[in-house]
Structure 1
Amino acid sequence: MAEIRSLHDAVADLVHEGDTVAMEGFTHLIPYAAAHEVIRQGITDLTLARMTPDVVYDQLIGAGLVRKLIFSWGGNPGVGSLHRFRDAVENGWPRPLELDEHSHAGMANRYVAGASRLPFAVLRGYRGSDLATRTDTVSSVVCPFTGEELAAVAALNPDVTVVHAQRADRQGNVQMWGLTGVQKEAALAADRVLVTVEEMVDELTPRPGGVVLPTWVIDAVCVVPGGAHPSYAAGYTVRDNAFYQAWDPIARDRDAFIQWIDENVRTEGAVAR
């Protein structure tokens, strides 16, 4: 059952050194505030999982907290590369970064297998690609009914999944809508779940296409208005396009990055804008 907690306390209790952490969200509802709390607390040696790592993971990697990335695409959406990510891969700064790269379909199926508590998932994929030769989490199986050879991907079960959503009720049931990705599957696959929300309400009213994560799936709910910035929460905030553009020159330069993190994340009470 979910507890309503402060973000500081929830991160301290649920995210541990050496954990595999999934911070999911697709275009919007990306849990930046929670990621910044991880940076402030200096929780390190993390394996990060995400279907589309963007600026939020660039920041965590640049802060030196990440040893491995499980992913299926990486970039600053609409702008270009993730320069802290690239620096870690190409130059080992601030530390070497191990990669486990997948297709989008492969990553989604890994979460589905994890949520289903199955050891692997089966799909038609990875043909014509060398991705399967670069990871030990892709193999093949032969269908017992047709004899067809199919790709198999190992289940992904994070120690912790962190997501942002629009609202929760006072019992800890969480509701999100708009562009949703694999938040539900990532939450069901994890051992522990932390959710930040825009607001707490007395009752969750139905929303077309809405997803509800029930309280029994969640360990902690934290009320953090604007917790997805610079991404957005549909119906509450708008995407800060200028931030994504401004991030490119900051991330290109190590000293500029360190100064930005120190001033906008690590400083007590800082809110990154």
Structure 2
Amino acid sequence: MAEKLFSLKDAITTFVSDGDVVALEGFTHLIPFAAGHEMIRQRLKGLTLVRMTPDIIADQMVAAGCVDKLVFAFTGNSSVGSLYAIRRAVEAGGTGGLELEEYSHYGLLARYQAGAAGIPFIPIRSYAGSDLVGINPLLKKVASPYEEDMETYVVPALNPDVAVIHAQRADRHGNIQSWGILGPQQEVAFAAQRTIVLVEEIVDDDVIRSDPNRTLIPGFVVDAVVECKYGAHPSFAQGHYDRDNDFYRSWSAISKDPARLQGWIQEWIHDTGGHDGYFNKLGEGFFDRLTPAPRLSTPVNYGSVL
């Protein structure tokens, strides 16, 4: 199997273009902030950003002018504040506004599942009685082919141009292993036309083979794997670093002031030149307070043939 190692800059340059439908997934955990920052540095435009729970990274990309449309299920600053760049863009309306396409959490996951399975739509009964059907014309009813007078809602398949996720480790061939809150990472990787994965570390093939059931995404659906330590900050990577709650609490005040927000983007994204610069700017010892104590899982005996 060919090696798929890329730098972060080269992965974004190679696989993401203006106008793409880009899914940045990670459910509270393993949010690919570094990839979003690199898209801002490269001044990508006209993106449709798909994210089950668009939070701070979505706010930053909207403020930077990268995103024209948001496909989502919930948006907010993780229950601690508002996302004012997104709010301003929505309220602006018309040309220069932000188009919204809203689903439930399971509705958006089901779209990924249909895309991954190669089917045009997938049934979902939970929209019965929901107000979402009144604002999203893509939520439709179809008759059951098995039960007379039975109808169910369906959602269309979603095949993003690019999926970007973060994980704990991978080998050089792009076999991705992850643990903790997994969210829709596996579904979106299989649904997307191209998949970029950032990982905390690249490990030897033997490490991946020693625990094959830990492999969430096989290398044959991955186009680029990027070693990007602390690339999910300020979210967390289970076993590597905890969530930076201080940053999340600080974001609303930054986001509420457009001038301050643009200054933050300039200082922490453009001026740093890349993720290494961002990490260095955080300062030596920054992650000491976020480093969790080890808590190892019980070993698994796979056995072997002598």
TM over 0.5, shorter chain:
yes
TM-superposed deviation, 1:48: 0.6
Larger Rg: 2
Deviating more after overlay: 87-96 vs 32-41: 87-96
Q: State the partner residue of 1:235.
A: 239
Q: Give the structure 1 partner of residue 116 of structure 2.
A: 115
Q: Among 215, 218, 226, which residue is 1:214 paired with? A: 218
Residue matched to 1:47: 48
Higher deviation after alignment, 36-45 or 140-149: 140-149
Distance 1:113 1:144 in 2: 18
- How do 1:110-259 residues align onto structure 2 when only pairs under 5 Å count? 110-147=111-148, 148-202=150-204, 203-204=207-208, 205-206=210-211, 210-259=214-263
Counterpart-to-counterpart distance in 1, 2:134 and 2:263? 39
Secondary structure at 2:250 match in 1 = helix
The equivalent of 2:297 in structure 1 is: none
The alignment's C-alpha RMSD in Å is 1.7
* Matched-pair contact (CA < 8 Å) for 1:64–1:94: no
Unaligned runs of 5+ in 1: none
Q: Kindly provide the CA deviation profile for residues 73-116 of structure 1, in whole angstroms up to 9, marking residues without a partner as x.
A: 00001312211111110125993100100111111100100000
Q: Which residue of 1 aligns with 2:60?
A: 59
Which residues in structure 2 correspond to 1:93-108 (within 5 Å)?
95-108=96-109
List aligned pairs for 1:32-43, cutoff 5 A: 32-43=33-44
Query: What residue identity is the alignment partner of 1:176?
Result: S
Pairwise CA distance, 1:145: 1.0
1:20 and 1:49 in contact (8 A); partners too: yes
141-150 vs 218-227, greater mean Cα deviation: 141-150
In 2: Cα distance, 1:200 partner to 1:93 partner: 45
Aligned length: 272
Structure 2 CA distance for aligned equivalents of residues 92 and 60 of structure 1 = 18
* Deviations 1:217-250, CA, capped at 9 Å, x for gaps: 0000000000000001101111100000011100
Alpha-carbon shift at residue 266 of structure 1 (Å): 1.1
Report the CA distance shift for 1:154/1:38 in structure 2 as closer, same or farther (over 3 A): same
Contact 1:28 1:234 in 2 (8 A): yes
Deviation of 1:166 after TM superposition, in Å, equals: 0.2
**Distance in 2 separating the partners of 1:164 and 1:68:** 22
Contact 1:163 1:183 in 2 (8 A): yes
- SS of equivalent residue, structure 1 residue 239: coil
Against the structure 1 CA distance between its residues 214 and 70, is the aligned structure 2 distance closer, same or farther, given a 3 Å change threshold?
same
Q: Which has the higher helix share?
A: 2
CA contact (8 A) 1:2 1:217 kept: no
Higher relative contact order (CA 8 A, sep 6+): 1
Aligned to 2:278: 271
CA contact (8 A) 1:31 1:162 kept: yes
